[in-house]
Amino acid sequence: KHVVLMKNHGALVVGDTVAQAYRRLYRLERVCRMQLIAMAAASGSGGQLAVLGADVVERVQAINPHDSHSRADRERLFFEAMMRVLDRELPGYRE
């Protein structure tokens, strides 16, 4: 619903806010990177990828009861943190 992978064009990611769209794009890139690493490791060793069980997936996707921030707050905080990284590593990008 929020991500489209277009052949020969790349990814299109949307969100209610810039922060939400950025977080989705960041996670998509990280997930794809991890998939490639896992596939390379499995093929290099002649093995198969292990598929996580439904119980593991459910636990990973569960909301942390100790998290006091809303999803929107987490997205905003993540976006602000990444902007600070960009400001530090590429200070002239705004000009």
* Beta carbons of 12 and 4 less than 8 angstroms apart: yes
Is 72 a member of any domain? yes
| CA angle at 70 for the pair 67 and 74, rounded to the nearest 5° | 85
Q: What is the pLDDT of residues 75-95, one digit of tens each?
A: 999 999 999 999 999 999 888
Q: What is the pLDDT of residue 29?
A: 97
Nearest to 18 by CA among 70, 76, 90: 76
Q: What is the pLDDT of residue 66?
A: 86
CA 77 to chain CA centroid, Å, is 15
Q: What is the pLDDT of residues 29-53, one digit of tens each?
A: 999 999 999 999 888 878 888 889 9
Is 94 a member of any domain? no
pTM: 0.79
Q: What is the pLDDT of residue 50?
A: 85
Residue 64 has pLDDT above 90, yes or no: no
Q: Which domain holds residue 78?
A: 3-89
The total domain count for the chain is 1
- Sign of torsion, CA 66 69 72 78? negative
